[in-house]
Amino acid sequence: MSGSETDFSIGGVLRYEGGRVLPCDHRPVDEYPLTLTVNGVELATLVSSPHDLGALVAGFLRMQRLVSVPGDILSMGICADSGVADVRIRRELPARLTPTLTSGCGTGIVFNIPVPEGEPGAGVLPAHSPPRTVSPTEIFGLMDEMASLAEGYRGQGGIHSAAVGENGKVMLFAEDIGRHNTLDRIAGAAMLKGIDLSGKVLATSGRVSSEMAGKAALLGIALVASRTSPTTLAVRLCREHGITLVGYLRGKSFNVYTHPERTLARI
Asked if 24 is an active-site residue, the reply is no
**Contact of 56 with 176, CB cutoff 8 Å:** yes
Amino acid in position 36:
L
Of 47, 32, 37, 30, nearest to 80 by C-alpha is 32
Annotated catalytic residue within 24, 79, 105, 238: 105
The number of C-alpha atoms within 13 Å of 47 and in the hemisphere containing its C-beta is 14
Strand bridging mode 13-17 / 20-24: antiparallel
Of 36, 148, 234, 62, nearest to 163 by C-alpha is 148
Report the b/e string of 146-185 with b at 16+ CB within 10 A: beebbebbeeeeebbbbbbbbebebbbbbbbbbbbbbbbb
Q: Which residues pair with 89 in a beta bridge?
A: 73
What phi and psi values does residue 158 have, to the nearest 5 degrees? Answer: 70, 15
Catalytic residues: 105
